[in-house]
C-alpha cells in the first residue's frame, strides 16, 4: 500500500506526536508513505470565508504536487480539517468543469495544474478500511486489556462527505480499539463537535463544548482522537475547561495511532508520548509497560 502523505501544518507543530505515531504505525503495518514535496497549508478554516476560490486553490496546490509525483495514488491526510479542505477541492476538480478551470487558472500563477486524480483519504479511513482490524490484529504484540477507551471522531472526517462511516453514529474505531485488547467505552459523544476554533475566537462557547465531551467521558481511562484540533481542544484546554466547569474533568487523551502503536509494541518515543500534555499516572502505568 502506497500513499502520498499530507501532514499539514499542525503535524509539524503542535501535533508532532500525531505525525510520529502515524508514520510509525503505518510503517510497521507495511504501508509506504511518500510525503508530498513542498506541500503548503490547506487554508484551514480561515481561507474559505475570505475567498472560496483561495480555499480551493490552496488545497488543490497540494493535490497538483502529488499528481506530479506519480501517475496515481491516494493522498493520505491525518488532520480532519485538512482532509475536508483537500476533499472539497478534489471533488470540484473531479465533478465541476468550470470550477476546475478556475482552480487551474489560479494555479497557473505557481505553474501547477491539478486534475483530481486518485482519492483523498482520511487516516481513519485507511486504518479502518485498507488495513482493518483483521490486518492490524496479528501485529499486536501485547494486549491493552483493562483499558477503557472512548472513541472520539469529531466532525470533519465524518461530515459532510460520508465516505467510510456513519456520520451520526460512527463505529469505525471500535474494531481497531478492540484489536488492541482494550474495551470500547460506550458513549454518545463520539461525533459531537469539540468547538473547533471557537476556543480561540469565542472561548466561553468553545470551552463549554470541550467540558461537555470530557464530562461524558468520565469512567473511561482515555479518549482517542483522529484530529489535531480535537486533540488540542480536549487535551491542552482541559485544565481551563475544568476550572470554568467547576469540576475536575481531567482525562488522558491519545491519538488513535498512538494507542495502536502501543499495542503493536512500538516505543513511547517512537509514538511521541512525551509530547502529549495529559497522560494521567494510572493510565501511564497501564500503557507504558
Partner 1 sequence: MNQSNEPNTHPLAAIQSMVRACIQCGTCTGSCPNADEMDLTPRHMWRRVIMGHLDRIMTSRTFILCSDCYTCTLRCPRGLPLTDAMEMLKGIAFARQEKKHRHPRHFYEQFLATVRRHGRIRELEFMSRYFTTVRNPMVPLRFAPMGLKLIQKGKVELGFGHATDTPLAPLFDKVAAMDQAAPESAAEEDQA
Q: What would the grid cell of residue 52 be?
A: 472560496
Position 54 contacts partner 1 (CB under 8 A):
yes
Nearer to partner 1, 63 or 107 (CB): 107
Residue 156 within binding range of partner 1, rule CB under 8 A: yes
49 binds partner 1 (CB under 8 A): yes
Residue 69 binds partner 1, judged by CB under 8 A: no
Told to check if 188 binds partner 1 by CB under 8 A, we report no
Q: Is 53 in the site for partner 1 (CB under 8 A)?
A: yes
Interface pattern 125-154 for partner 1 (x via CB under 8 A): ------------------------------
The answer to whether residue 285 forms part of the interface with partner 1 (CB under 8 A) is no
Which residues sit at the interface with partner 1, rule CB under 8 A? 9, 12-16, 38, 40-41, 43-54, 57-58, 61, 92, 96, 98-99, 102, 105-110, 155-156, 159-160, 167-168, 192-193, 195-198, 200-206, 208-209, 236-237, 240, 275, 277
Amino acid at each position: 500500500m502506497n500513499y502520498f502523505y499530507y501532514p499539514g501544518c499542525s503535524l509539524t507543530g503542535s501535533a508532532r506526536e500525531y505525525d510520529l505515531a502515524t508514520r510509525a504505525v503505518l510503517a510497521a503495518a507495511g504501508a509506504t508513505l511518500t510525503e508530498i514535496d513542498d506541500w503548503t497549508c490547506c487554508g484551514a478554516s480561515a481561507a474559505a470565508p475570505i475567498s472560496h476560490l483561495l480555499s480551493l486553490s490552496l488545497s488543490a496546490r497540494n493535490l497538483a504536487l502529488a499528481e506530479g509525483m506519480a501517475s496515481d495514488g491516494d493522498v493520505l491526510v491525518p488532520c480532519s480539517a485538512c482532509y475536508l479542505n483537500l476533499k472539497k477541492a478534489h471533488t470540484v476538480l473531479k465533478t465541476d468543469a468550470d470550477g476546475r478551470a478556475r482552480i487551474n487558472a489560479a494555479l497557473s500563477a505557481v505553474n501547477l495544474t491539478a486534475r483530481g486524480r486518485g482519492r483523498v483519504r482520511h487516516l481513519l479511513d485507511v486504518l479502518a478500511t485498507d488495513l482493518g482490524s483483521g490486518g492490524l490484529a496479528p501485529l499486536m504484540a501485547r494486549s491493552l486489556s483493562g483499558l477503557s477507551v472512548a472513541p472520539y471522531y469529531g466532525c470533519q472526517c465524518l461530515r459532510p462527505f460520508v465516505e467510510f462511516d456513519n456520520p451520526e453514529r460512527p463505529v469505525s474505531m471500535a474494531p481497531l480499539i478492540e484489536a488492541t485488547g482494550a474495551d470500547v467505552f460506550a458513549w454518545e459523544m463520539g461525533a459531537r463537535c469539540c468547538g473547533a476554533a471557537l476556543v480561540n475566537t469565542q472561548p466561553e462557547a468553545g470551552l463549554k463544548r470541550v467540558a461537555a465531551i470530557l464530562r461524558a467521558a468520565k469512567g473511561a481511562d482515555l479518549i482517542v482522537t483522529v484530529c489535531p484540533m480535537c486533540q488540542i481542544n480536549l487535551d491542552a484546554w482541559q485544565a481551563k475547561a475544568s476550572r470554568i466547569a467547576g469540576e475536575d474533568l481531567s482525562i488522558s487523551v491519545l491519538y488513535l495511532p498512538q494507542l495502536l502503536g502501543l499495542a503493536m509494541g512500538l516505543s513511547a518515543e517512537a509514538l511521541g508520548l512525551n509530547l502529549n500534555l495529559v497522560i494521567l499516572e494510572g493510565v501511564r502505568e497501564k500503557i507504558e509497560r
